[in-house]
Chain A
Amino acid sequence: MILRVAAMVAGMLAGLGAACAADIRAAVLRVDYPALAPISRFERVPDDLGFAGAALATEDNMTTGSFLGHSYVTETVAVSPEDAAGAVDALLADGVDLFVLLARDDDFLTLADRIGAAGLVFNAGARQTRLRDAECRANTIHVTPSHAMLADAVAQFTIWKKWPRWLLVQGSNPGDRALGAAYQNAAAKFGAKIAETREFEDTGGSRRTDTGHVLVQKQLPVFMQGAPRHDVVIAADASDVFAPYLPYHLWDPRPVMGAAGLRPVSFHAAHEAWGATQFQRRFEALTGRYLMEPDYDTWLALRVLGEAVTRTNGADIAALRSYILSDDFELAAFKGVPVTVRPWNGQLRAPVLLFDGRITVSVSPQDGFLHQVSPLDTLGLDRPESRCTAFE
């Protein structure tokens, strides 16, 4: 492998006469939080979560860079929440100014501010809409979709299905409520009606479901009974506390969407359309496991960076940022249409896959939802409603 890469660099640089050398050093910083194990073993968190996507993206960028004289080095750092700021300081002191962050929303903001205007930050994990709204940051490109984009993707599908009456069930943690608010906005935006909002209380370690399926089967239907007429149950469970138990344990037989049943995702390991099969195979050959959303979001963040380096033929932060935010920027991301970036808040425009756990059931934006700029702008916060001013 090393021999091959070396040969490529030597043999192929001649191709593009104007090639200028550039060394791109980026860091992927992942903040690991103390958390319960996921409800399903299938969602067990691997040690290389996100980093595996970074490894593939770096290989991809290196291959392309070998024709242009660009080389890429990606450092991956996993830290506790307490050590995150120190880790950023150390990387900055070491000369790194390109960051991919996998952190929760409040920590994301703290770290992005610490990196400051001299750096460029890619958000691959924080999904709350406020980071793209009043709390946006000029140094940040949000590669991962916002809660608003994900909720809008589900809302469009329910409207396309003519299932407009929702029973919204949200968790009791702040993140769950923020997600619930995104679904309420989505309902208002696309004309769905929320028949009732119910809150499922997170009682901490003693999950209602710890006792196994026998009690879940008895207790969850009781929690769900007595709801007004509805077509679909929407689950807003950002904390992974209850949603996976909802399908088959409702009172009224209805489809579940959101955090269980039909889930809006940036990507999933079964997706095959638009050339995704070859991407999945490359990922699996490199890492020995299936791809997860943070892997895709991290891969995409580094590919956005790599594409900007390729097209601007350099590593100047200001030039990279302005190219990524320009109309010229577009990137193929195995979603059938080019992904681009909203220049007014730094959010990547991308389709959202609707995944049932085995296959891609549908992809939003749905047919018929139009927008004067791009159909992709029917998903998430739109320019007229945004309070983001950092990009002006």
Chain B
Amino acid sequence: MHELGVVFYVIRDVKAVAEEHDVERVDRVTLQIGEVSGVVHELLRDAWKWAVRKEPLMADAELEIETIPAITFCEDCKHDYPTVEYGKTCPHCGSEHTFLVQGNEFLIKDMRVE
């Protein structure tokens, strides 16, 4: 729902890193996005295309997205399981005392530059 907002954050961070490394042009940025981070990839790509065009440093930069799978851990039976399939309820013992171990991330992994 806030894809445009996070694209602005990414651009700000990429520009800061580019400045530190004396970069002339950024031609690809790779993000790692958790499966349950709530970000819709298609909307993110649309927002990206629209926003980078205004940035001379990265006007044609390609966006690559890697997905981090969501995993939930059960405090009662100490097993983990895939979040998207089973949600909050542990498929091993039926407990609801569970918490997300990974899958909520939104990271800039790397950027290809010249």
Question: Do A and B bind?
Answer: no
